[in-house]
Every structure is written in structure tokens, then in C-alpha cells.
Chain A
Amino acid sequence: MRNLIITGIIGAAVFIFLMVLYPHVLISPGEMSQGHQDIKQQCFSCHQAFGGIDNNKCIACHALADIGKDSLGTATGSVSMGEQVLFHKNLDKYACTTCHTDHAGLNPASAMKGFEHELLPKTISNDCIACHQKPVDKLHQQLTDACAKCHTTKAWELETAFNHDMVQPTERDNCLGCHQKQVDKLHQQLTDACAKCHTTTAWKSEIAFNHDMVQPATRDNCVGCHEAPTDAFHRTVNNDCAKCHSSDKWVPSTFDHTAYFRLDDDHNAKCATCHVNNNYNAYTCYGCHEHTASNILQEHREEGITNLNNCVSCHKSSSEREGGEGGRESGRKGGDDD
């Protein structure tokens, strides 16, 4: 047992010695940044035993007054071209670890916890292009340097809708200067006068689509742009949409079946029962009634009706008061006069 204790003590001492000799391997929580590689075995260059990171240890190498970034330009005159933007100059009251860390990898960018623009003097934080490169795309070329009108220091993506009034008046109506034209079938046949349907506040049209803008040759081909309804009824009809619908609105349909024939309880049938071969320009009643023209003729001969091609001229519904027994007068008139 005694030997075991002595072995344990010697083993522990050896391990502690190795820790002191190779702290970077045994106790460092991660790779130091590229600039600190020379001191990666010297923990107390930055750390103070039981005291964290002392600002003075950082400042000993990185003087606040020297830390800066070469200016890229200026919008407010906060800095001259080529001069350094000294954004650490007045930050001596903050701990360096507020923004910086280490042991996060070789890349120095990994050692940034996030840039707090609020810590900067207003003269610098308002002069965005002193540090940031202004985008060189067509949109930003024609805008002023008042970046804060669209962007914040928290995120580059816009938090509010883009104000189109900032675009130069000569370019403001040239939507395709910035936006890509939709490549769908509808927009391909339209002109570039986007404002006829769209506004600068929303892409979804705030005004009704003017079908007159569609090329005359394709204007009647509704299914070229609209998807044909797939319900049971529309699957049986052809694509002559204008017969029932207008370009103003889809619902309600302009077609009124009752004007021709009322589909009451006795005629709750499938369309194809009367309109055979998907032909809605014609109909037949023989599918259910008497089945042949000669049988119908026998029924109507005593009434003196001989024109049997247009039943609905007398029979507007299943009511016996129309046409048939109860409506001989009107039936005769309808039948014979047609």
C-alpha cells in the first residue's frame, strides 16, 4: 500500500510537471489565433493567476491609440482619406474581453465576439464608408452615402421596406435596372412598364391586372397563364373560358343555366347526360325521355307540335305546368312557332 501511495505521488508530480511544460497541449481550451502563436506556451502573457485577463497585458502589446483601420473613404469628414480610423482610442474603460476572445482558432476573425458599434464615437459610427466598402452594384452606385436610411449596425439585410424615393429620378422608373424581370409565361409577353400593375411598396399588385396588356394573339388563351380548374365540371368542358367568365373576375361565373333550363330535383344529373360528347352547344333529352324522336312525336302529335328539336323552348324545368299537359298553349306556341 505504501508503495502504491509513493507511486501515486510520483505519478502526480510527473503529470503536473508535464502540464507546466506543455500547457498548450494539456490545458489550453483551443488553438490560439495566428498572431498569438508565439506565446501559445506562455499562458501568463495574457492570463493573470486567479484574475482573468488584465487589460494592461493586452495594451502592453496592442496600444489603444494605435489600433485602427485604414479609412476607405468618408461621408461625413470624420477622417481623411488614407488616415486610420482609430476606433479603440476612447475604449479604455471597457474590458478587452468584451469584444475579443482567443483559443477560438487560427483565424483572427474567430477571436471577435461581435463588433459593438455603440461603443464608437458618433462621428465614427455615422461615417459607415470610412470602414466599410460601399457595394459597387448598380443600385448602390446611384444612392447617397446615408447607409443608415436602409441598414442598421445589427444587420446588413433591410429591416424596413426599401425607399424607392432615394433612387435618382432618372432611374426610378427603370425597374429592370435593379430588379430582374419575372421569367414566367405571363411576364414574357408583357412590356417593361411594370408600374402598370406593380407599385414600389409591394410586388403583389394593388390594382387589377389589365388584360388588354396581353398580346392580342394570346389574349383569348386563358390557360396560357391561368391554370384550368380541375373540378369535375370543368374537366368536362373545353377551354372556351370567356363563355362563362370575364377577365374582370373569375367568380361569379356569368353563365346562368336556369336561363336555359332549371336543374331542379328531377334533373339532378351529370352534365354528360344531356350534353353528350362534351358539346355544351347542344343537348338532348332523349337520353331519359321517350328515347327516340318517333316516340316524342307520338306524344306531341295530338298537340299539333311537330318541331321537336328544341325541347327547352317549352319545357324550362320538370314542372308539368310548363310545356307538357299543363302548358299546352305555351307548348304549342313554342313548339310550332320555332
Chain B
Amino acid sequence: MSSPGALVLVVEDEPQVRRFLRASLSSRGYRLLEATTAREARQLATSHNPDLFLLDLGLPDEDGVELTRDLRGWASAPIIVLSARGREEDKVKALDAGADDYLTKPFGVNELLARMRVALRHARAVPTEGALIEVGPLRVDSARREVTVDGVEVRLTPTEFKLLLLLARNAGKVLTHGMILREVWGPNATQAHYVRVQMAELRRKLEQDPARPRLLLTEVGVGYRLRDRWDD
């Protein structure tokens, strides 16, 4: 399910990381553009219209979050940000600024490729309004507002359903607490623990063991992700 030929703009100032990305991505059929500064990134993005951005948050000339916001303003290609460990706030900021996903350095190539596949698939997919969403044993029928696990119907409250539908429509993507709050509780909601409490309820109903979730994954300090492939 790789995407041969997809044009990837790598924005990264460290040459070792660029070398590793060049080696691993070109051998899998991706075409690569490389920028070492935000300025270069803007120029290349404008002139080449890439299919995907791999963007390091620690750029020498500009805050990567700013660049993300700027790119998101006019480019529709998915943005995956690369950031150092322990900078959860940066990740949240980047995601809220419009990034599609993030990877924590150091990361393995398999993880990178998996995230790129998800991002590209989402970018190509037609909006899934009203469609049937299936992940492993989970089946969400948004038209009939029906949820089943292994064929057994699960009764959800309206809030739980709204939350699940949001996650399902963005399967494979991380949604921050802030995004979920705004989408489910409205623009004025600020209490992140509403999300956590509803999430715990949802897990109790959908997961075999809520303490070992297989579907509704927590990205600690960042948000949640509905697993999108059962045997990834």
C-alpha cells in the first residue's frame, strides 16, 4: 500500500537525518525534495507542489509551528512533523496549527512509512460523510447511527457516538484534546477531562480490556488516535 512516485518535501536542517530519509524513502519509490530552512521550504512548496511534507519543528530560521500554520493556509498536502522527545506541547501546537501527524525522533523507518501511508491515504480519500467505517472488529454506520463490535450492537450515548464518529472519520490520525473538545462540546469548551472521561466510557463499551486498548489509543499528553488498520 505504498505510494510510489509521491513527491515528499523534507524540511530538515540536520544532514544526517536528511541522508537517512533520502536513503530509506527513495528506495521505496518516493521522490524527494530537500529544504534546510523554512524559507527554502516555502520556495520549493510553491514551485513543486509536493504531495506530502515531512517537517522538522526545530528549524534554524523559523518556528516549525509557524511554518506549519502558513503551509496549511494554502497547501492541501498532508504535513507530518518531526520533533524531539518530551516536547508534547510542541506536538499539540503543530497539530492544532494544521499538521496531520507527528513522529518523535528518533523513529524507525517502518513507523515513518506507516504514518506516511496513512497521511497520503487520508489526503486522497473522498470525504467519508455518511459512509461505513470499519476497523478490525469495530463497525461504525454513521447514516444509521449504529455501532457494532464483532457484530454485536453497542449502545452509545449521543456524546459517545459523536466522539467515536469524529475519531473514526480521522482513523489513524491523532486528534488533540483541544480539537476533540471543539468538535464534540463546542467552541467554548476548555475542560480536557470531559474528553478523557467520555473516552474512558467509550473504551469500557468498545474494548475487550479498557486497560489494554486495541482500538482507541492514547497519545499521552497529546490526544487520541483510532487505530486504522488491524494488522499493521
Please say whether chains A and B are actual partners in one complex.
no
On B, residues with C-beta under 8 Å from A are none
